[in-house]
């Protein structure tokens, strides 16, 4: 049974707060856990935020047990993932409960 930790993404994930978010997430990955990034409050994400998620994904790939999945994407965030085709890279779930069931 993998260890799971849920991280709430901020309301706006952008250049101004991405560093703090990334540090928290990297800490969790170091412990070999699965990160579930919960986007239910997020209505804005910019390219720096996207870059951070890609970077987390790369880090997780290099570590046993670590993984990054996303859940509860708002329409605004979904739109940007579709536009950049990054949704292909991530496991995306509708709700936190769906993640728990799958894991």
Q: Applying CB under 8 A, which residues contact other proteins?
A: 12, 14-16, 43-44, 46-48, 50-52, 54-55, 57-58, 61, 75-76, 79-80, 83-86, 89
Cβ of residue 28: shortest distance to other proteins, in angstroms?
Answer: 18
Q: How far is CA 42 from CA 17, 58, 66, in A?
A: 13, 22, 23
Give the pairing of strands 34-38 and 12-13: unpaired
Report which of 85, 95, 82 is spatially closest to residue 39, judged by C-alpha positions: 95
Is 35 or 52 the residue whose CB approaches other proteins more closely?
A: 52
**Complex with other proteins: residue 54 or 96, whichever CB lies closer:** 54
């Amino acid at each position: 049974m993998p260890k799971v930790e849920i991280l709430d993404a901020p309301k706006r994930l952008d250049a101004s707060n991405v560093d703090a978010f990334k540090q928290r997430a990297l800490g969790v990955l170091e412990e070999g856990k699965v990160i579930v990034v919960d986007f239910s409050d997020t209505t804005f994400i910019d390219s720096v935020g996207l870059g951070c998620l890609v970077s987390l994904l790369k880090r997780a790939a290099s570590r046993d047990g670590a993984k990054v999945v996303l859940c509860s994407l708002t329409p605004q965030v979904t739109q940007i993932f579709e536009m950049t085709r990054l949704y292909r890279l991530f496991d995306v779930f509708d709700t936190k409960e769906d993640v728990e069931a799958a894991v």
